[in-house]
Structure 1
Amino acid sequence: MKPIHDPYNDEKWIAGFAAEGGPRYLQIVKALERAIADGSLQAGDRLPPQRRLAEMLNIDLTTVTRGFAEARQRQLIEARGTLGTFVAAPKVELTQSVDLSMNIPPPPADVDMEALLRQGMSQVLMRTDTDLLMTYHLGGGSHADRSAWAQWLKPMLGRIDIERVVTCPGAQAALAALILALTQPGDVILMEPLVYPGLPLAAEQLGRRVETVAVDEFGMRPDSLEEACRKHNARLIYLNPTLQNPTTRTMPEQRRLEIVKVAARWNARIIEDDPYWLFAGHAPPPLARLMPEQVYYVSTLSKCLSPGLRTAFVVLPDTQAQHGFLSALRTFSLTSPLTSTLVTQWIHDGSAAQLLAGVQTEARVRQRMVSGTFSGSTNSPEDHGIHAWLTLPSYWRALDLAAAARGDGLVIAPSAAFHSGRNPPNAIRVSLGGCRSRAELEAALRKLSGLLAQKPPVQRELVI
């Protein structure tokens, strides 16, 4: 049996505590993660009693208790009754699958989400009638809401008329409403061959047809778009031009100008799905800023702040388009005033900006982890999005790798999940936000890298 080691006699694992920023209970968790990662704390090591640790760090006991509770939730430590609290054995191999397929923002290490929610809801309840918060809202937001949302969108679109901004319960609802409002059953929607799967799914469910347009290294080709508009008499184009899902490609400004000019010649509207603009380094202006009268702009907080917010903004080309869009949205969804009011409060008091900065920092760290692990990542060093696109070695097929990864407790997204037509590229998308901690992500990336380094097993049929 391993002898009990009391690492609190050696205070190195908590060195630098006072110098670090962020909530103090999270600093305890980070110190534990760091010490476990570098080996200064090992499975089975006993931690100091909470009261003693509070004295050592000169903080109150409740802060330590909260830090230990968070560390237990992250499976870093375990309590053994009267014996005390110990560093837990690694459980990555034995727990449920690690999801690298869901594109959500990573939880920021230095932001106290619980405190933000508590403070934000307190302000909302002080300033808003509770009955109004707990009923349906049919409109696209109050004047105060629209002002806040226009403020949030200013880095992307500059100053905009607040009456052009409406809110939706998520980007998927916004996309479905736009398809309903802008097309008729049987109409064609043009898109790139690799695309966010929710768009073709919504189009199919609503009885619209999807056709793909050829791309090059800069994105959708203008000459191919021109030909597709002529051939299919298409009046709607879907694009995700910045840190595109799944390829992470960002369309340069010149190509964007060429695309909107083709759309204008054919009187085709563009849905610009732009959830990742705030993660891109030196992002070009959105299509909606280059030619606002031609573009319906969709931006969601679920990809840059938290999926729990389920809030998306749609910027319409003009105020006349609002009635048709909201009528379409109301056929299947209504806005939650509680969520939208909290979003407005967070934008006004700076909480949304604080949370965004934390997510951006965490995404940047996680992208470096990917770049340091895989040579086939296509991500630019200037970008810090929430997913990576990995080209596979020739001996692995994407679907085979996904199946092998499932056997090892990893869920990844093969290129076929995003591709329309035959012969998808041999690549996978790896999402970086599903892992709660960096340690969990690092272990998952190492496991995936180990799989890639091996050749797939030869399948032999049993002959009887």
Structure 2
Amino acid sequence: MTMAFLDPAALSRPVYQSLADQIARAIADGRLANGAQLPPHRILAHELKISVQTVSRAYEELIRRGLVSGETGRGSFVRRQEPASDVPYLEERPGETIDLSILKPVCETMHLDRMKAVLAEMAVDLPASAALSFRPNVIFPGHRAVAVEWLRHCGVEASPGNVILTNGATAGMTVAMMSAASTGTVIATETLGHHTLVPLASYLGLKMAGVAIDDEGMVPEALAALCRQEDVRAVFLQPSPINPSASMMGLARREALIAVARENALSIIENDPLGPLIEDRPPPVAALAPERTLYVTTFTKSVLPGLRTGYLVAPDRLMPAVANRHLVSHWIATPLLAEVASRWVRDGTAMDLVRWQRKALARRQATVAEMLAGIDHRAHPMGLHVWLPLRSRTEEEVFVAQARLRGVALAPGRSFQIGRDEHPAVRIAVGSASEAELKAGLRVVAGLYHAAPEPLLLAI
């Protein structure tokens, strides 16, 4: 049994951790394939001149990480590793990893202080219905009125009766998809889309179809062609720079897509988790075609990650379906979080935090422009991430693996692919780490990008 993937001279204290790290790297870069058997404890201990207990601890650590399975009487084997597209972000943050994979706003101590303050305030005057009622119509009439105020900041005019409170954008997306299409029918979306759309559609019995994109997003002619071929009932759009390629859809493109939707009687689902974060943007699709658009927004990407509450706005004709599907799938949004959001909208805290976030992201995007100067990348001055195109899917896999070995977690482009069109790239989140960590991570990214392709590939 070969042990060429190990370097005894590179083992450091604690030895079990160092050994586990070496084996983990061999799994990550393909030198240890899915299903490969690891050396028996005693043989490996003898070869490395370490104790059997140390090897056992290393294998236990690998089992804890989900990389290895121990089978009684047979030995230890590399577990099948799921494709990175299933989870584009780092599920946990071990050691000194710089996590640039998870999309979140910039946060400082001030954000936690604001949350503590509003919770202390609520401890004094929390409405009884927020804790004691099960009925949305009892709890949320006032919250819906406040939602209308926030939606104006987003560029959307709505009446309270057309607003559903949700537990964030994911809940809103789910209800919107359930309401806009029926089992077996098609929802169209960009070929670079939300990473949960395909599995979510599968669970709901729907089909997702990727539509060709350009620098502004979905191509209207491609959507029209799909409608002639498939039973398309809705189109899912992310016209703000929350989409993977960080593109902003212009007004003319939005109007052209609306025209296709009207010609083909399509509902439009607009996912706008950034809300009012992006200044001077075109009107939301919901403002241009309110009669057919289900508009989804949330506070998690623009105000505070833990404020997992948001709004789903629907036209009159879809409101009965939206209300019923929300009841059967979620019943009610979490009243305490909805109360926090409403208080922050009323007293101006929410918009204060949005304005703060704009400045913080502008500083970080300026850092990106400096650190990635000369490298083709796509970003918005107030966006949460950077899209770095690469030449091939193989290079993408190598890039992500090599960055991870250097202590930087990135999201692979294949995580966002819907349909056959490939857009090899990595997504780099700018808000998830400190400014110093972001600079260090971007330095690694720039170094990998400038590396000659042959050495980069041989490093595997």
1:231 positional shift? 1.3
1:125 positional shift? 3.4
Q: Secondary structure at the match of 1:293?
A: coil
- Taking structure 1 as the reference length, what is the TM-score of the superposition? 0.73
Tell me the amino acid that sits aligned with residue 414 of structure 1. P
1:165 positional shift? 1.5
1:130 positional shift? 4.6
1:266 positional shift? 1.1
1:155 positional shift? 2.7
Q: Which residue of 2 aligns with 1:95?
A: 95
Q: 1:461 to 1:228 in 2, by over 3 A?
A: closer
| 1:10-21 correspondence to structure 2 within 5 Å | none
Q: 1:271 aligns with which of 263, 269, 272?
A: 269
> Is contact 1:298–1:315 with CA below 8 Å preserved after alignment?
yes
Q: State the distance in 1 between where 2:135 and 2:216 align.
A: 41
Matched, 1:282 2:264: no
Tell me the amino acid that sits aligned with residue 182 of structure 2. Q
> Is contact 2:130–2:139 with CA below 8 Å preserved after alignment?
no
Q: 2:448 aligns with which of 448, 451, 455?
A: 451
| 1:416-431 correspondence to structure 2 within 5 Å | 416-422=414-420, 424-431=422-429
Is the deviation greater in 392-401 or in 360-369?
392-401
1:211 positional shift? 1.1
Tell me the amino acid that sits aligned with residue 432 of structure 1. V
Amino-acid identity (%):
28
| 1:65-464 correspondence to structure 2 within 5 Å | 95-108=95-108, 112-130=110-128, 132-133=130-131, 136-139=134-137, 142-318=140-316, 320-333=317-330, 334-374=332-372, 375-380=375-380, 383-392=381-390, 397-422=395-420, 424-435=422-433, 437-455=434-452, 457=455
1:173 positional shift? 1.2
> Is contact 2:166–2:312 with CA below 8 Å preserved after alignment?
yes
Q: Which residue of 2 aligns with 1:48?
A: none
1:443 positional shift? 1.5
1:174 positional shift? 1.1
Compute the RMSD of aligned alpha carbons. Answer: 2.5
> Is contact 1:124–1:345 with CA below 8 Å preserved after alignment?
no
Q: State the distance in 1 between where 2:192 and 2:413 align.
A: 8
Q: State the distance in 2 between where 1:240 and 1:282 align.
A: 17
> Is contact 2:275–2:302 with CA below 8 Å preserved after alignment?
no
1:420 positional shift? 2.1
Q: Which residue of 1 aligns with 2:29?
A: none
> Is contact 2:250–2:282 with CA below 8 Å preserved after alignment?
yes
Tell me the amino acid that sits aligned with residue 181 of structure 1. S
Q: Secondary structure at the match of 2:417?
A: coil
Q: State the distance in 1 between where 2:216 and 2:148 align.
A: 29
* 1:183-203 Cα distance to aligned partner (Å, 9 max, x none): 221111101110011222210
Is the deviation greater in 199-208 or in 340-349?
199-208
1:328 positional shift? 1.2
Q: Secondary structure at the match of 2:265?
A: coil
> Is contact 2:191–2:421 with CA below 8 Å preserved after alignment?
no
Q: 1:273 to 1:140 in 2, by over 3 A?
A: farther
> Is contact 1:396–1:455 with CA below 8 Å preserved after alignment?
no
* 1:418-464 Cα distance to aligned partner (Å, 9 max, x none): 112345223211011211x21121112112222222235366799xx
Q: State the distance in 2 between where 1:259 and 1:399 align.
A: 34
Q: State the distance in 1 between where 2:339 and 2:218 align.
A: 37
Q: 1:227 to 1:394 in 2, by over 3 A?
A: closer
1:114 positional shift? 3.2
Tell me the amino acid that sits aligned with residue 389 of structure 2. T
* 1:138-178 Cα distance to aligned partner (Å, 9 max, x none): 45962221121111110333542122111100111111111
Unmatched tracts of structure 2, length 5 or more: 1-92
Q: 1:342 to 1:227 in 2, by over 3 A?
A: same
Is the deviation greater in 336-345 or in 273-282?
273-282
Tell me the amino acid that sits aligned with residue 429 of structure 1. R
* 1:313-346 Cα distance to aligned partner (Å, 9 max, x none): 111112x533321221233323110000011011
Q: 1:171 to 1:459 in 2, by over 3 A?
A: closer
Q: 1:144 to 1:325 in 2, by over 3 A?
A: same
Tell me the amino acid that sits aligned with residue 365 of structure 2. Q
Unmatched tracts of structure 1, length 5 or more: 1-92
Tell me the amino acid that sits aligned with residue 441 of structure 1. L
Q: State the distance in 2 between where 1:116 and 1:397 align.
A: 43
1:217 positional shift? 2.4
* 1:42-80 Cα distance to aligned partner (Å, 9 max, x none): xxxxxxxxxxxxxxxxxxxxxxxxxxxxxxxxxxxxxxx
> Is contact 2:162–2:313 with CA below 8 Å preserved after alignment?
yes
1:133 positional shift? 2.5
Q: Which residue of 2 aligns with 1:15?
A: none
Q: Secondary structure at the match of 1:150?
A: helix
Q: 1:399 to 1:113 in 2, by over 3 A?
A: same
Q: 1:244 to 1:344 in 2, by over 3 A?
A: closer
Q: 1:267 to 1:452 in 2, by over 3 A?
A: same
Q: State the distance in 2 between where 1:193 and 1:140 align.
A: 41
Is the deviation greater in 117-126 or in 409-418?
117-126
> Is contact 2:162–2:315 with CA below 8 Å preserved after alignment?
yes
Q: 1:94 to 1:225 in 2, by over 3 A?
A: closer
Q: State the distance in 2 between where 1:146 and 1:402 align.
A: 43
Q: State the distance in 2 between where 1:368 and 1:181 align.
A: 41
Q: 1:164 to 1:176 in 2, by over 3 A?
A: same
Q: Secondary structure at the match of 2:226?
A: helix
